[in-house]
Chain A
Amino acid sequence: MDTDLSLERSRVRRESEQERRASRRRKGLRNFLKSLFSHGLINLVGLFFLIPFIWMLSTAFKTDQDVFHTPPRWLPYDNVRVELNGQQLPLYNVRTAQGVRKLALVKIAAGVGTFVDPQDPLQQLQSKFQQGTTVLAEPIMQISFQWHNYPDAMSRGSRPGVGASFWVYFENSLVIAFFTIVGTLLANTPVAYAFARIKFPGREILFVIVLATMMLPYQVTMIPIYLFFNDFLHWKNTFLPLIIPAFFANAYDVFLLRQFFRTIPEEMCDAARVDGASEWQIFTRIVLPLSVPVLATVTVFTFLYAWNDFTGPLLFLDKPNMFTMALGLRDFQGQRTMVWNQLMAASVVFTVPIVIAFFFAQKTFIQGIKLTGLKE
């Protein structure tokens, strides 16, 4: 009786142990499936964001013919070539009476290619490339990166014969971005300081007006500003209409800087005031040195804005040697023949400074977006 009971007990224990193990297994399986699903989904959506980059890079490394190969290939290919009498000739697999042979193409006339044997250049052979659906001569390809697309693209201009190259556009973009950053930092910081720390009558209502200007669409002010710079000041085809407005405060940066300045302890400013410091001294000696992170955010976003800007340069610059990268790229695309590989190479050069900036200042980027919800 006694042993029966203990046997029974151990049986029950064994069963519940098994059940627990099974349930743990089930739970493990469910978690596994769940994580498999979420991983799959996050990767699939990730492809949507990633593939265009891959396509951009791959195109930028392709030859002119390879760009239009159908179906498109993921990796850049080029003909295998041999040198014959100082000429680079593409190699073909040619179907001949003696079977498939590796021959070099010398010339094409009326759909018929003239081939020679690289080992025996005197032996010539004529062949069509295709007969019906059978391929008679097929180029031998290999993976090959056309690094020269980058210097080729950069050293050409969007319009032939003008002399301005993408290097000039790149430089123009840099010059504009640099002065825009300088102007933005100089103009917005004192304004933001006044809104954050100087208690003057009318401050709140003025700040609401500042924020309200964010609502105003650019189209409303665009034409008078254009006429002012272009007809009144005759600043067309100079960088001034793009740079000078940056030397006056704008709502976004004032807001961003003010939010940060307000987090600096008031007591520090008050202590300095008691010691007889002027507001200007408090601003330049105490507040600005403590605001390096937000100044970095403003710098990065101003660079992004100036580098990216299309409408401004479109309105004020139409001489090719004054073009920015954005304008030059669009002009390049407007040509009759699309040179996609060089266009993509120039786009890569256009994008790289920003990607580098992002990897150096990831936190700054993310912080800035969270603070202002900046678009574009």
Chain B
Amino acid sequence: MQDWLGTKNVFKQKSPGVHWSRRTRQNFWLGMIFLLPWTIGFILFTFYPMAASFVYSFAEYHTRKPLVWVGLDNYVAMFTDKLFWISLENTLYMVAIGVPLTLLASFLCAVLLNLKVRGQSIYRVIYFLPSIVPTVASTLLWLWILNPQSGVMNTLLGYLGIPGPNWLGNPNWSKPSLILLGMWGMGSTIVIYLSGLQDVPTHLLEAAELDGASWLQRLRYITIPMVSPITLFNLITGMIWMFQYFAQAYVFRGTNDLGAPLDSTLFYSVYLYQAGFQYLKIGYASAMAWVLFLIILACTLLMLKVSERFTYYAG
């Protein structure tokens, strides 16, 4: 991982002592000047907001009124807030079911697109194109597709003799609907997998074929292990992204109807937005944000730890 970033031995660097040569000193100031657009931005839009939201999370805060310290009250309140747990549960559902399902689907799509068929490049464009449709447009489109009376989804299911559900109106189907919408736009994940498939050494596949390995065996014992670092990458980015799932859920239900039906689409970030911007509980929303950060951090580290056993790095 560090090799890939080109930042070997970050922490073993010689500490910048007092014995800098003239050249080093010159380079240091030069570097700092070139870095200014980042440094100022980091202080203004990362460091200060992080510190501020950390402070807010221990306070009750209304704009134009002074801060009132409440200690850990905001964090304690989460434990007894039913909506908080519902939103966390909904989000975990999407992370635990939506992310792996989407990953599996995009891997299979990449395998399909890697087959030598006529018109391969056209298929690749078709599979990819939905991913660049703006989120709001694709969400509205799926809202219309999944319309239970006039939508195309239930019509197609009707051709097959399957009575379609009331997708978004049914609390059991609202999250699968959103997963489906996500799968429609998984083109970038497919592209990443596809580039990984193209990097699988052909000599390995050919050798296995000569030894009589079937297509399925080659997939299982060569291809899947070879793309496992990509799976890990997609899994982690997908998870981080899913924990922050917001725009699609917001557009699906609209401002006055957030979380409907029966709070089944009340995701963590949606509830956080509600708490901060609709109920104006800035302290509580900040505390929620920090808890989210810790959850994401913990899940990422856990995944990296667990993956050591399943991931194969060539070379």
Q: Which residues of A contact B (CB under 8 A)?
A: 35, 38-39, 41-42, 45-46, 48-53, 55-56, 59, 67-72, 186-188, 190-191, 193-194, 198-211, 213, 215-228, 231, 245, 247-250, 254, 262, 279, 283, 304, 307-308, 310-311, 314-315, 325-327, 329-330, 333-334, 340, 343-344, 347, 350-351, 354-355, 358, 362, 365-366, 369-370, 373-376
Contacts and interface: CB of A to CB of B under 8 A. Distances in A.
B71 interface: no
B42 interface: yes
B129 A223 contact: no
A333 B143 contact: yes
Nearest to B10: A204
A201 B10 contact: no
A218 to B, nearest CB: 6
A343 to B, nearest CB: 6
Contact of A249 (B37, B126, B286): B37
B192 A373 contact: yes
A200 B53 CA distance: 33
A119 B133 CA distance: 50
A329 B117 contact: no
A72 B150 contact: yes
Interface centre among A205, A220, A248, A351 (most CB of B within 10 A): A220
B201 interface: no
Contacts of A254: 38
Nearest to A362: B125
Nearest to A186: B37
B282 interface: yes
Given A200-B30, A219-B289, A373-B188, A326 B296 contact: no
Contacts of A52: 130, 138, 141-142, 145, 152, 184
Contact of B134 (A200, A203, A326): A326
A interface majority secondary structure? helix
B152 A248 contact: no
Contacts of A206: 35
B129 A49 contact: yes
Contact of B255 (A186, A194, A304, A334): A334
Interface stretch (B167-175, B205-213, B235-243): B235-243
B117 A215 contact: no
Contacts of B44: 228, 248
B135 A198 contact: no
A350 B132 CA distance: 11
Interface in B247-291: 247, 250-251, 254-256, 269, 272, 276-277, 282, 285-286, 288-290
A99 to B, nearest CB: 34
B45 A245 contact: yes
A245 B42 CA distance: 10
Contacts of A283: 34
B7 A208 contact: yes
A73 B58 CA distance: 57
Contact of A217 (B152, B282, B289): B289
Interface string B173-199: 000000000001000100110010000
A375 B115 contact: no
Contacts of A344: 140-141, 144
**Among the interface residues B37, B45, B142, B188, which one has the most CB atoms of the partner chain A within 10 A?**
B37
Contacts of B137: 329, 347, 350-351
B234 interface: yes
Given A262-B6, A347-B141, A373 B34 contact: no
Contacts of B64: 231
Contact of B35 (A46, A191, A325): A191
Nearest to A199: B27
A194 B31 contact: yes
Contact of B117 (A38, A223, A351): A38
B40 interface: yes
Contact of A55 (B35, B136, B145): B145
11 contacts: A49-B130, A50-B126, A56-B141, A72-B151, A190-B34, A219-B288, A221-B49, A249-B37, A249-B38, A333-B254, A340-B144
Contacts of B36: 190
B10 A205 contact: yes
